[in-house]
Amino acid sequence: MKRRSRWRWGIAIVLLVVLVGAGLAKFAFKETPPPQVTTTAVVKGDIEDAVLATGTIEAARLVSVGAQVTGVLTKLHVTLGDRVAKGQLIAEIDSSTQQNELRKAEAGVLSVRAQRASKQALQKQTGLAAARLKALVAIDAGSQADLESADALLATTQADIASLDAQLAQAELTRDTAKVNVGYARVTAPIAGTVVAVVTEQGQTINSNQSAPTIIKLAQLDTMTIKAQISEADVPRVRAGLPVWFTLLGDPDTRYEAVLRRVEPGPTTIATDTVASAAATTSSSAKAVYYNGIFEVANPDGKLRIAMTAQATIVVASVKDVLIVPSAALGARTPDGRFKVRVKDGLKIDDRIVRIGMNNRIMAQVLDGLKAGDDVVTSEVMLVGPRPGG
């Protein structure tokens, strides 16, 4: 009886050990969970390969309207923001000095004319006297010496008149210059445009002898010029005629379209650098080098203003209505230039080899290997499951 009881207890212990071992084995060798992935569907869309550049908006034409005479600015006829026509009166400068110079020059002209008229009368008189002496000498009734003296006086008088003609031309030139200087006292607009700056206020004294003083700055704002700084790494990819679009920092939702007119041959610092420093800057990798890409855009509503910052995109190439996937979905590159892409189909994830066209590092064009609606894996996280004995 005791032996049977011990045998039953032994069987129970063995079964318990088997059950506990089976549980531990199931826990220890549990299958690793499938990876957690993020997918994006292959869709049709547009893609462009572009160069990004930051630019500054400038007026298509900006003119500093200055004074060419010295004096007090007695009247300023425009204010900031006024639109003016070409030839419109901008300012008036006290012209007392210029008026006096004009009167002095006119008096000089009159003086020379009077001297010339006197010499012309003397020329007439000496000419008549020489003619009479010539007739008398012809009949041996006059002196040859007197005739020669009369001829010499006539020639001298004619030379004096020629000299006075030159003096008269010089005096008239001085008078005309004085008239121009008087006209400079009335400053007019050289172009039609908008007053964007008033540099000299009414009542200020202008000294044109020391510098070329600016009264106002006049700009044509119907068309604006953008100078976009293109890095030296991107300059070889761009050329005149490429489409450009840009947005403003304060209005990122509005897109302005334009065409790249040209790329300046020298870097943006060439105007201020010496030859040596420009060469050092170009050859140094520590300092970035940029080149201005220039384009224009219409500004009929005046929304674009001088010195605004433009975030420009120069479109090097573009394709429309093609299959696209995120560039992040592209895996290893094969020797023939294609890419490995992981595609999720239900619970399975398969590898595909696809051929890619344009790739702007954000989106890539699919030439073959995928179809619209395929779910491509863009990121994948492997979950670590329990390890044996852990």
Residue 30 lies in a domain: no
- Sign, CA dihedral 246-249-253-256, equals negative
Q: Do 289 and 335 sit in the same domain of this protein?
A: no
Residue 358 lies in a domain: yes
Read off the tokens for 284. Answer: 């140094």
Count: domains in the chain: 3
Looking at residue 34, its pLDDT comes to 58
Residue 82 lies in a domain: no
Residue 147 near residue 127, CB atoms below 8 Å: no
Render each residue's pLDDT in the chain as its tens digit; 390 residues: 545 555 565 666 656 655 656 555 554 445 555 568 889 999 999 999 999 999 999 999 999 998 888 889 999 999 999 999 999 999 999 988 889 999 999 999 999 999 999 888 988 888 887 788 787 777 877 788 877 787 888 888 889 899 999 999 999 999 999 999 899 899 999 999 999 999 999 998 888 776 778 999 999 999 999 999 999 999 999 999 999 999 999 899 999 999 999 999 999 888 766 544 555 554 545 578 999 999 999 999 989 999 999 999 999 999 999 999 999 999 999 999 999 999 998 888 899 999 999 998 899 999 999 999 999 999 877 555 554 444
> Would you call 178 helix, strand, or coil by DSSP?
helix
Domain end: 316, 331, 354, which one?
Answer: 316
Q: Do 241 and 289 sit in the same domain of this protein?
A: yes
Distance of CA 275 to the CA centre of its chain: 23
Looking at residue 26, its pLDDT comes to 52
Q: Do 282 and 347 sit in the same domain of this protein?
A: no
* Residue position matching structure tokens 């071992």: 21
Residue 37 near residue 344, CB atoms below 8 Å: yes
Which of 268-277's residues contact partners 24+ apart within 8 Å by CB, and which partners? Answer: 268/229, 268/292
Looking at residue 13, its pLDDT comes to 63
The H-or-E segment that residue 350 falls in is strand 348-359
Q: Do 247 and 174 sit in the same domain of this protein?
A: no
Count CA atoms within 13 Å of residue 345 on its CB side: 9
Residue 361 lies in a domain: yes
Domain end: 156, 184, 212, which one?
Answer: 184
Q: Break the chain down into helix, strand, coil percent, rounded to 5.
A: 30, 40, 30
Domain of residue 109 covers: 95-184
Residue 390 near residue 382, CB atoms below 8 Å: no
* Burial readout 343-359 (b: 16 or more C-beta within 10 A, e: otherwise): bbeeeebeeeebebebb
State how far the Cα of 82 lies from the Cα of 89, in Å rounded to an integer: 12
Q: Do 307 and 324 sit in the same domain of this protein?
A: no
Q: Do 365 and 350 sit in the same domain of this protein?
A: yes
Write the DSSP string, 24-40: HHHHHTPPPPPPEEEEE
CATH number at residue 235: 2.40.30.170
Q: Do 133 and 145 sit in the same domain of this protein?
A: yes
Q: What does each C-alpha distance from 305 to 60, 93, 355 come to in angstroms?
A: 11, 31, 46
Domain end: 259, 293, 316, which one?
Answer: 316
Amino acid at 152: A
Residue 101 near residue 178, CB atoms below 8 Å: yes
Residue 252 near residue 99, CB atoms below 8 Å: no
Residue 237 lies in a domain: yes
- Strands 251-267 and 205-206 turn out to be unpaired
Q: Do 140 and 99 sit in the same domain of this protein?
A: yes
CB atoms under 10 Å from CB of 21, counted, come to: 10
State how far the Cα of 257 lies from the Cα of 296, in Å rounded to an integer: 9
Find the helix packing angle between 144-184 and 96-138, rounded to 10°: 160
Residue 16 lies in a domain: no
CATH number at residue 373: 2.40.420.20
Looking at residue 123, its pLDDT comes to 83
CA-based R_g, the chain, Å:
47
- Strands 89-93 and 193-198 turn out to be unpaired
Q: Do 100 and 45 sit in the same domain of this protein?
A: no
Q: Do 294 and 347 sit in the same domain of this protein?
A: no
Looking at residue 68, its pLDDT comes to 87
Nearest CA among 308, 340, 144, 154 for reference residue 221: 308
**Furthest CA-CA distance within the chain:** 200
Looking at residue 207, its pLDDT comes to 83
Residue 364 lies in a domain: yes
Residue 242 lies in a domain: yes
Q: Do 245 and 268 sit in the same domain of this protein?
A: yes
Q: Do 108 and 166 sit in the same domain of this protein?
A: yes
